[in-house]
Homo-oligomer: A and B are copies of this chain.
Amino acid sequence: MDRDFVNSFLDSTSNVLATMAAMDFSVGHPRFKKEELPISNITGMIAMSSPQAVGTLVISFTEPVILSLASRMLMETVDEINGEVIDLVGELTNMVTGGAKRVLEEKGFDFDMATPVVIQGENQQITQFSNGPTIVVPYSTDAGDFYVEICFEAIDS
């Protein structure tokens, strides 16, 4: 995975956050995932495949961060992870992946997107099985940090 590839997801996440949630945030340095991330409460993911590569985008939130994000997006105070919040994580995951897909298309990658899956729960730890590296991008917000994980492997042709 080259920097351009990672940046497609990073830029798309930043775009979605800024336009949909009008949220202040800072983006940390992308790094290889070597140990488990801090535990989270809700995770959205979408697999993507192209003739060149296959992989998954994962976005993982703690409860305080997703409630803050949901409150901004829904323009009302949201104080629990309910069905509306689950839908919103599905939608966010879809928007981020869709945005990255469009940028990657310009770079010669023609990705198909699978459908989003959202898992809610406590103390979540995510493991991706792949021959490729998992890259983690940390985002900091007023309500805490959250993480975008991308993991792709090249397809032998």
Contact = CB atoms under 8 A, between A and B. Distances in A.
A86 interface: yes
Given A49-B49, A94-B129, A122-B123, A117 B153 contact: no
Number of copies: 2
Chain A's interface size range is 35 or more
Contact of A55 (B56, B115, B118, B119): B115
Nearest to A36: B120
Interface string A18-56: 000000000000000000000100010111110000111
Contacts of A125: 119-121
14 contacts: A47-B47, A47-B49, A47-B117, A54-B112, A54-B113, A55-B114, A55-B115, A116-B128, A118-B126, A119-B119, A120-B123, A121-B122, A121-B123, A121-B125
